[in-house]
Amino acid sequence: MSEISDESSNYPNLKYYVHNRFSGQDPSIIDFYDKAFLSFYLAYDENDDDQIIDTSSPPTLIPSVVDADTGLGWSLSSENNWSLDTIDENSVANNYSIFVTAEFDNCSTYAAPVVFNIAAEENINSGCSNIFGGISSGPAYGWGGANPTIPAANKYDGNCNDLKYGGNYIREVYIGHVKSHNVQMDRLVSFTGNGGGSEVQFCRASSREQITVDSLNNINLSNWDTRTLMYWKRKEIRKKRLRLAAIKWDENWSCEGYEEQLFVIYEEDNEGTLTIGDSVSFENGDSTYSLDVNVTIDNKSKDQVIIKRTRTNQEFFVVNLLDQGCGGGHGAGSFGDRIWGWQDCGTPFQYNMWHRWIDVTDNTTYF
Amino acid sequence: MKKCNTFISFLVLFFLNFAYSQEVTKKQISTFPSSLFELNVSYGIQGNFFVDYGESVVKAADGDIIPFRDAFGFNLYQKEFIGDYKAIRFSTRLGGRNFLELGYEVGTNRGEFSIITQTDSGTRVVVNDFELDEVNRYFSLTYKRGLGKTNRWFLLGAVSYLHLESSTIEISPSANFISVEESNPTNSYLEELAGQLGVQYYFYNSGRFSLGLETRAYFIISYGPELETWSFAPILKYNF
């Protein structure tokens, strides 16, 4: 423990977390999350025998500091002593283990791969470039907080003035749950190394930041803004598993103006070229500018794209809580009190998306 | 696990019975013939441990499976635990009591469903006595070794390339969504690597023909290992 706390620059507030998590003063890691610049990731919620992993005992805490197949994790013994153990894929898959990652970007403090919370006490740095200006107001809302005020399920009527509450806000969008449809994306065996489970990539192309302008003044985009891998074992696919993805797809999708984003799911291979092309457009809220961006992104895949959709901010937040032809499912954590519409049913991976918007002046979250 | 224990108990009793029969007729038993090549076929039953899809199989009074329901709606996935089993194999003797065998084995489990429901848009959905299949096809390479010198008992182990076929229906009334589909190796890469362990016992011989019983446990080894099916079947062998 001391080794971790001594490296506070690498593991800010981890000691605080551990203390509160296990001393009984604050049994929930939920409240902690927004007090520290950490995020937590539960890699497996079921073990190899398909049993829900027991979370009643303290988890093994694994600081995420390097990319490796094995690492070190801190475990609390029955004698209340911390020990440092070597962990690997197998131990993580069969024991309650939480990866802890330092979030150095204050602007993304609210991102939590598994634990979504709201009841924050300290103010976020409002100097973040991706936070819009405004005036703070609105009721505090926290999962498990005192007298929570639950706002109406859908505040997104398309009118940004209704949405803003006059606050400085960010608007986050997540890939929530994903369900497999018993379609393996790779062969069992591949002599080129592509066999086995499926490496499913969830991508977003929007980009006011990454565009380039060519000699003909065409505006082009050739990189994803976000791309997150979700690995599916063959077993999980065959059993039509419903899994928690909790992938932050967009950390701040603005409300003002018109903004299209390209939503893409594809399966990655180590060879082949899958060129995904489309166009997305933007229009500033006060019509000071508009852009048409040509999207051409090369990816390594031998397959066709699984899902490619153009979403706009003016339709997404209006329909995201509605049945979009596939029914709906509850979210997890603080998203759990709402039904989020399943999307693209009948495809190999159907999913729902969760969104929330956070008044960063007083750390109030709205859905 | 309960199904598995019942199945194992049944097999143990069955083989004990034959062992007893063997003891009684011991003096009359001669060594069964063994030649360089063998062709054997078998047809019997198998229990499939996957086809409940992790949910209890609940049946209506007429024996039809009642679809289990989740957040998506009605899932017509499950099949009967007991299904039929067919196999054809060609063996060659490597020398002594050792054999190498190429085999094609098929296990089929079926589930019959009846359901009447209505989507939110008013469309009535009727599934009437509809049978859905789960088919496992094993392409196997088996090593088999005789126990003793009578050519009656054999132990075997195998690796198999497994093709899976699964037909399912999903009905989501609230979403006005209905899916009827078959997933197979062609459209969904449903293929796995499997292993086998088994026993064969021959109790009757006439000329080049021998009649016996066999049981095999099939495991998925590309993920797992996980017990997939357990077969039990009479086997007819022809010696070339």
pLDDT, tens digit (0-9, with 9 covering 90-100), for A167-222? 567 788 899 889 998 899 988 887 777 788 899 999 998 866 677 788 877 888 88
Number of H helices, E strands in chain A: 7, 19
Query: How far is residue B78's CA from residue B74's CA, in Å, rounded to a whole number?
Result: 11
Cα angle A252, A256, A259 (rounded to 5 degrees) comes to 70
Shortest distance, CA B26 to any CA of chain A (angstroms): 45
Q: Which residues of A touch B220 (CB under 8 A)?
A: 235
pLDDT band for B24, please (50, 70, 90 cuts): very low
Shortest distance, CA A189 to any CA of chain B (angstroms): 9
Can you tell me whether residue B224 is helix, strand or coil? Answer: coil
Q: Is the pLDDT of residue A4 over 60?
A: no
Stated as kind and residue range, the H or E segment containing B212 is strand B209-220
A187/B187 touch (CB, cutoff 8 Å), yes or no: no
Cα maximum dimension of chain B: 76
Residues of chain B that touch chain A, judged by Cβ-Cβ distance less than 8 Å: 53-54, 70-73, 77, 164, 166, 168, 172, 174-177, 179, 183, 187-193, 220, 222-224, 226
Task: Name the residue among B73, B77, B191 with its Cβ closest to that of A188.
Answer: B191
Question: What pLDDT sits at residue B101?
Answer: 96
pLDDT band for B12, please (50, 70, 90 cuts): low
pLDDT band for B43, please (50, 70, 90 cuts): very high
Shortest distance, CA B200 to any CA of chain A (angstroms): 30
The average confidence (pLDDT) of chain B is 87
DSSP state, residue A46 = B
B188/A189 touch (CB, cutoff 8 Å), yes or no: no
CA dihedral B234, B78, B165, A45 (to 10 degrees): -120
Does a cis peptide bond (omega within 30 degrees of 0) precede residue B225? yes
Interface of A with B in 90-149 (CB under 8 A): none
Residue of chain B minimizing CA distance to A344: B177
Q: Is the pLDDT of residue B80 over 60?
A: yes
Q: Is the pLDDT of residue A119 over 50?
A: no
Q: Which residues of B touch A89 (CB under 8 A)?
A: none
Number of A–B residue contacts, CB under 8 Å: 74
Share of chain B above pLDDT 90, in %: 65
Tell whether A333 lies on the interface with B, counting CB pairs under 8 A.
no
Nearest to B169 by CA among B240, B52, B238, B67: B67
Shortest distance, CA B180 to any CA of chain A (angstroms): 10
The answer to whether the beta carbons of residues B120 and B73 sit under 8 Å apart is no
Share of chain B above pLDDT 70, in %: 88
For residue A138, what are its two tokens? 């609105």
Task: Name the residue among B164, B177, B191 with its Cβ closest to that of A326.
Answer: B177
Can you tell me whether residue A356 is helix, strand or coil? Answer: strand
Find residue A111's DSSP bridge partners: none
pLDDT band for A82, please (50, 70, 90 cuts): confident
Residue of chain A minimizing CA distance to B193: A188
Query: How far is residue A345's CA from residue A325's CA, in Å, rounded to a whole number?
Result: 8
Can you tell me whether residue B24 is helix, strand or coil? Answer: helix
For residue B206, what are its two tokens? 């006439």
Share of chain A above pLDDT 90, in %: 11
Shortest distance, CA A346 to any CA of chain B (angstroms): 7
Question: What pLDDT sits at residue B167?
Answer: 96
Q: Average pLDDT in the B67-74 region? A: 84
Q: What is the pLDDT of residues B141-194, one digit of tens each?
A: 999 999 988 889 999 999 999 999 999 999 988 778 899 999 999 999 999 999
The answer to whether the beta carbons of residues B77 and B167 sit under 8 Å apart is no
Residue of chain B minimizing CA distance to A343: B175
pLDDT band for A292, please (50, 70, 90 cuts): confident
B172/A189 touch (CB, cutoff 8 Å), yes or no: no
For residue A79, what are its two tokens? 């004698």
The answer to whether the beta carbons of residues A272 and A301 sit under 8 Å apart is yes
A185/B189 touch (CB, cutoff 8 Å), yes or no: yes
Query: How far is residue A278's CA from residue A308's CA, in Å, rounded to a whole number?
Result: 9
Find residue B171's DSSP bridge partners: B74, B178
Q: What is the pLDDT of residues A256-282, one digit of tens each?
A: 778 889 999 999 988 889 998 888 888
Shortest distance, CA A240 to any CA of chain B (angstroms): 9
pTM of the model: 0.68
DSSP string of A128-185, one letter each residue:
-TT------------TT-SS-----S---SS-HHHHHTTS-EEEEEEEEEEEE-S--S
Q: Is the pLDDT of residue A154 over 60?
A: no
Stated as kind and residue range, the H or E segment containing A310 is strand A307-312
B193/A189 touch (CB, cutoff 8 Å), yes or no: yes
